[in-house]
Structure 1
Amino acid sequence: MTQLWDFAGGIHPAQNKHQSTTRPIRHAAIPARLVLPLQQHIGVAAEAIVELGEQVLKGQKIADVTDGMGVPVHAPTSGVIEAISRLPVPHPSGMDDWCLILTPDGLDQWHQKNPIADYRKLEREAVLDYLRDAGIAGMGGAGFPTNIKLRPPRDRKVGTLILNGAECEPYITADDMTMRERAGEIVDGLKIMAWILRPERCVVALEDNKPEAITAMRTAAEGTQIEVVGVPTKYPSGGEKQLIQILTGMEVPSGGIPADIGVMCQNVGTAIAVGKAVLKDEPLISRVVTITGEAVTEPGNFEALIGTPVRDLLAEAGLNDAHLHRLVLGGPMMGYTLNTPDVPVVKTSNCVIAASAQELPDPAPEQPCIRCGQCAEACPMELLPQQLFWYSKAEEFEKAEHLNLFDCIECGACSYVCPSSIPLVQYYRYAKGEIRVQQAEQLKADRARERFEARQARLEREQQEKELRRQERAKAAADAQAKKKVEAEHAITDTGVTDVTDERAAKSARVQEALARKKAKSQASEPDTPDRAELEKQLAQATSKLETMQSMLEDAKAQQADNVDKLERAVAKNHERVKRAEQALAEANAQTTP
């Protein structure tokens, strides 16, 4: 006999399961319109890969996730894509989200199927990719992509694989009826998952208030090493961490996952989807949904296409609008009220309760906490609900997080036993949401700071490189000037400069000869006075020197020599001498003119 353990806390609410277990699973009719949300699982929303007006076949991929964690969406039946628009989707807030609208053509024609002949001949990664392409996500919880969950970290070997069929919440019987009628398909899917993970132990766990399901599963598991275990009926024994503790005696560490202790849980509905995907090449396009409550005359379980409006299922179950008080998606403990019956069935939808006012009355007004401690006694996670409530209400989120707020599984046991009708779970959800927002903002700020620091470091590095290049250029220019200075040979006259090249000397000699010829010609035409002759001599000398200085200045500028300033000053000085000589000669000519 399998040894079982117990978990702390827990409650025993009225089961109310018999209403929906008197009839076998019925196939819901194809509705006039299917609404297919692009976000049906944890992770990234899928993106449409079809066009408006496109004809699609049953099982055809119509939306996919190209980047990030997610799985595709498939057409539940053949028909035409009529629209892509925002419509109400199953969510506690009643939010709208992007949806594909498919109008069935009534033919229900499948796309080309290519089932795997023998999956054992393939690589395990190839089978995991096959499951991903089939759009399979967890069907018993938040909808975590199955292909990712079946790929635990390499350093965490899964020793125990648990198939969760406990279904502990009141009213819900989808898994119960599935195990009664489709136990063989469940075992087929479990074998595939076991082949992928290679665990040492495989267990199908369900509460002992389901004797028919226990019998059916044990019959289907004969000849295998699969254990079928009935666990004591206590809410929330179907919680992942609680079921692991019951079957193994081990506790999942705070903030950890079951794989940290070598355990993995999957849902029985997920097992059927895995078997259909691998053995029949059928993607996840339908699921079993419980329709129950006092406001329907024929409660039961329906095999419904994903995207079927809840309104259509309620009609098939014989909804009595006069008795309807509340529509609850999920169970009475962890479910939430629907604002409209037009929301569609998605991959994680397992139950809809059409409750009368007597069945699920409006909650009583919240009263002050009387510190009775019943919430702490009922908490299966052994938390301190009272303190978490105070801190959440006071928005002291850091203190609430310090008390392991995120270990709360939101089972609702504390709210159920509270005599003051305090909606404790709602406070915890609010606090978790605010903490996540703050963490996201902090992460955004940290990334912005990192980008700023990286930019500053880059600018500083570029400035240093620029300064280094400037210094190298300056050094190269200084070296070039020093080299030119060494190569250049300059002489300084009484004005600070003398002839430096033979070319300049030759040019100066030619100027002197020209002046001499001019003087001789002038003397031949008109005799000069000694004073006038002396002045002409001085003018010739000044002019010659001026031309020499100008020539040297031009050469110095062309060579960028460092004596340019001296030459400019010398040119200016000789220019003044020429000007004075010309003026003196002009005055002498004026005096000698008759």
Structure 2
Amino acid sequence: MNTIIQFASKLIKNLATNTANDIHKFHGGVHPDGHKYESTTRPIAQLPIPQTLTLPLRQHVGYIPKLKVKVGDYVLKGEMLAEAEGTVSAAIHAPTSGTITAIEEAVIPHPSGLPDMCVTLTPDGKDQWKPLTPIDWKNTAHSELISSLRTSGIVGLGGATFPTHIKLRKDRSSAIHTLIINAAECEPYITCDDMLMRERAEEIIQGIAIAQHLLGAAKVVIGIEDNKPEATQAMAGASQSLTNAVVTTVPTLYPSGDARRLIHLLLGVEVPHHKRSTEVGIQVFNVATVLAIYRYFAFGEPSVSRIVTVTGNVTTPQNFEVLLGTPIPLLMAAAGGAKPDTTHFVMGGPMMGFDLPTLNVPVTKAANCIIAASPALFAPPPPAQPCIRCTRCADACPVNLQPQELYWFAKSDNFEKARDYNLFDCIECGCCTYVCPSNIPLVQYYRYAKSEIIALDKAQEAADLARERNDFRLARIEREKLERAQKHAERAASAKNNEAKPELAETEKTTSNPDAVEAKKAAIAAAVERAKALKLAAANIDAAKTGTDLPVQAESTPDNTLPNIAEAKPDATTSATNEAQAKADKQALIAAAIERAKAQKLAAAQTGATPKNTENLSAKVKAEIDEIEAIRTKAQQMIKSKAPD
């Protein structure tokens, strides 16, 4: 036994020596008390199936999954309860077999303490799996593997809970050349990854091989803090089966487990604040996440359980493998129960975790550690004092920010200035709060400023969208107005052209219609008859003056040969004769008028037009009508001149 321990110590020492020159230290960081030994003296224990399981739908980053079950349904272990909705989402599966007894809001482990939609499952005790199908990941298309992984419900189990299938896609602008396995586990009290590497290193390595295959990465680097010698030894031995894989120890320094800090430690690469690590060809996975990937492809098991560290003010701190949805009081009981002086419970680590609103909440995919807090372990913070501008926070900041400046801007609600000082680069690690001699809760100010900026950005985005819609509406109204004006102008121009050419339009209309042509011919014939009658009347008047016989045809009198009756002066001897002749002339004119009326009626019957329509006749017909009217006027003058005084 001593020989094995000496060999392990020598191996760890050699690994540390061989990789010491490859470590690139980052700025800042702190060394809080680890408190890791308390929960690593016992192996991982299996927690029994509880009486009820409460499964929140919100257990990951992204959209809430869509429910597929209803109250009263019986489900088997591993059966999907809610499917991924949208691109960034993850499915929820039944942790054991049983019946769905409720779908309602319940309090979930969240800093807000607000309830959210949950599915309550009552186990039947059989723990019966649905039919599982392993996946041959070496001989299956990449797209099919990613599509299948989307239904597995696997998310980042290091605490970020980002859907894993998205991180394994190849549709990126940059190819992944290096896969980094985050095994640093730098935050105090948390030991679930440490115990997982000690006991299941072979499965972790096989999961790494699958992730390397899906990403097409040529190199694998496993980063472990130097306070985990047993885990380092186990992973170094198991990684021999991987090609181009190396286990590297990093100094125990918080927050070396942050993805960007770990990339800098292992590769010396500084990822720009406005880019992701994938844009520089690097992808990072937690050890628990790659183990879940292996279990899914090797056995078809979706994400239904995880390892949780139960530590702090409990009787027997330990790591447990528990089903998702297990009530936290059962975890406390399995660890011997919380001691009487326990004041509250923390999910996560003491640096980045949060106080649970109540103990009666379920275990979720993000629950890597539950700490029972007491005044002896976590003393109440003293009252905050004014900032003394000591800049210790700036010295400890691993992101090279100016925490004191950000504090002043956040306190005075100068959010734009805080944004200019790269507030969103803050990883909320708590190093600044840890070293502040004035006990100022700096991280709380940063979280407040971030939430306010996000709210303002959303409001501005909504306002911009409303303005764009209004601008589009006004543009549409103006466009419709211009279109109406253009149509009115076209109709006015068309009407003007029709008024300028009425004869042409009428001629085209009549010539194109056979009935109109016949009507026009009838109107011309009627006009000719009227002209003949008027000429005949004029000839009779002329004959009465000269004493000759009445002519038979009106055409015998030339157009302009009528005598000037006005110049003739009747004498007394012929007055009786003239009176008789005047009566005869009147009768002749009446007869001519009757003939003219008959002709007009005949034309109106054939054409359906009134005499006013004669304005649209040809120029020849108009000339004849004008001539007839002139003859009639002369005839009337002659009659008046012959009438007795």
Smaller-chain TM-score bracket: 0.7 to 0.9
Aligned residue among 168, 184, 194 for 2:212: 194
Match of 1:249 among 268, 276, 287: 268
* Partners of 2:344 and 2:593 in 1: CA distance: 122
* Residue 149 of structure 2 corresponds to residue 131 of structure 1: yes
In 2, the alpha carbon distance for the partners of 1:404 and 1:449 equals 29
Deviations 1:278-316 (A, max 9, x none): 11100011000111111x212111111111121221122
- In the aligned structure 1, how far is the partner of 2:182 from the partner of 2:200? 15
Tell me the equivalent position of 1:322: 340
Q: 2:389 maps to what in 1?
A: 371
Distance in 2 (alpha carbons) for counterparts of 1:469 and 1:554: 35
Q: Which residue, out of 67, 70, 75, partners 2:89?
A: 70
**CA offset digits 1:184-236 (Å, max 9, x no partner):** 11101100001111223201111100111111111111243321111110111
Q: Name the counterpart of 1:497.
A: none
Counterpart residue identity of residue 199, structure 2:
E
Match of 2:101 in 1: 82
With over 3 angstroms needed to count, the CA separation of the structure-2 counterparts of 1:369 and 1:481, relative to structure 1, is same
Query: Which of residues 88, 94, 99 is equivalent to 2:118?
Result: 99
> Which whole-Å CA distance do the structure 1 matches of 2:101 and 2:611 have between them?
83
Query: Which residue of structure 1 lines up, in the alignment, with residue 246 of structure 2?
Result: 227
Query: Partners of 1:207 and 1:93 in 2: how far apart?
Result: 33
Within 5 A, what are the aligned runs for 1:91-490? Answer: 91-116=110-135, 118-151=136-169, 154-225=172-243, 226-294=245-313, 296-320=314-338, 322-473=340-491, 485-486=503-504, 488=506
Alpha-carbon distance between aligned partners in 2 of 1:260 and 1:551, rounded to the nearest angstrom: 93
Question: Cα deviations across residues 308-350 of structure 1 (Å, max 9, x unaligned)?
Answer: 1212211222223622211101000000001111221111110
Query: What is the CA distance between 1:55 and its match in structure 2?
Result: 0.6
Q: Structure 2 regions of 5+ residues with no counterpart?
A: 1-17, 509-518, 533-579, 618-645
CA contact (8 A) 2:159 2:368 kept: no
Tell me which amino acid in the other structure corresponds to 1:58.
K
Q: CA RMSD in A?
A: 3.5
Cα distance, 1:85–1:504 mapped onto 2, change above 3 Å: same
CA distance in 2, matches of 1:479, 1:111: 84
User: Is contact 2:110-2:357 (8 Å) kept?
Assistant: no
Q: CA deviation at 1:67?
A: 2.6
The within-5 A match list for 1:50-61 is 50-61=69-80
Contact 2:530 2:596 (8 Å CA) reproduced: no
Distance 1:271 1:378 in 2: 32
Give percent identity, aligned residues only: 45
Alignment correspondent of 2:48: 29
In structure 1, give the amino acid aligned to 2:279: D
Secondary structure, in 3 states, of the residue corresponding to 1:503?
Answer: helix
Q: Aligned match of 1:10 in 26, 29, 39?
A: 29
Letter in 2 for 1:60: E
Q: What SS does the corresponding residue of 1:409 show, helix, strand or coil?
A: coil
Are the equivalent residues in 1 in contact too, given 2:526–2:603 (CA < 8 A)? no
What CA distance in whole angstroms lies between the structure 2 residues aligned with 1:555 and 1:274?
96
- 1:557 is displaced (CA, Å) by 12
2:111 and 2:507 map into 1 onto residues whose CA distance is 94
Measured at CA, do residues 190 and 481 of structure 1 come closer, stay the same or move farther in structure 2, by a change above 3 Å?
same
How far off is 1:255 after superposition? 2.0
- Secondary structure of the residue that 1:288 maps to in structure 2? strand
CA positional deviation for 1:489: 6.5
CA apart distance, 1:555: 3.6
Contact 2:63–2:85, Cα closer than 8 Å, also in 1:
no
Local SS of the residue matching 1:426: helix
Q: TM-score, normalised by structure 2?
A: 0.78
Take 1:176 and 1:297, find their aligned partners in 2: how far apart are those partners?
Answer: 21
Q: Contact between 1:508 and 1:544, CA under 8 Å: does it hold in 2?
A: no
Report the counterpart of residue 522 of structure 1 in structure 2: none
Are the aligned partners of 1:511 and 1:544 in contact in 2 as well (CA < 8 Å)?
no
Native 8 Å contact 1:63 1:72 kept in 2: yes
Larger deviation, residues 63-72 vs 394-403: 63-72
Kept in 2, the 8 Å contact 1:329–1:338? The answer is yes
Matched with 2:563 is none
How many correspondences in the alignment?
Answer: 548
Segment of structure 1 superposing worse, 543-552 or 471-480: 543-552
| Per-residue deviation, 1:427 | 0.7
Mind listing any 5+ residue stretches in structure 1 that lack a counterpart?
Answer: 491-499, 514-526, 564-594
Deviation at 1:64, TM superposition (A): 1.1
Structure 1 residues 483 and 511: alpha-carbon distance in aligned structure 2, compared to 1, 3 A threshold:
closer
> SS of the residue aligned with 1:265?
strand
Verify the 8 A CA contact 1:165 1:268 in the aligned structure 2: yes
User: CA contact under 8 A between 1:38 and 1:100: conserved in structure 2?
Assistant: yes
Distance 1:489 1:440 in 2: 71
Using the alignment, how far apart are the partners of 2:503 and 2:116 within structure 1? Answer: 80
Alpha-carbon deviation of 1:446?
Answer: 2.2
Cα drift, residue 91 of structure 1: 1.4
Using the TM superposition, give the Cα deviation of residue 101 of structure 1 relative to its aligned residue in structure 2, in angstroms. 1.2
Cα distance in 2, alignment partners of residues 191 and 487 from structure 1: 89
C-alpha contact (below 8 Å) 1:367/1:420 kept by paired residues: yes
Task: Say which SS state the counterpart of residue 240 (structure 2) adopts.
Answer: coil
Secondary structure of the corresponding residue to residue 121 of structure 1? coil
Contact 1:130–1:278 (CA<8 Å) still a contact in 2?
no
The range that moved more, 457-466 or 384-393, is 457-466
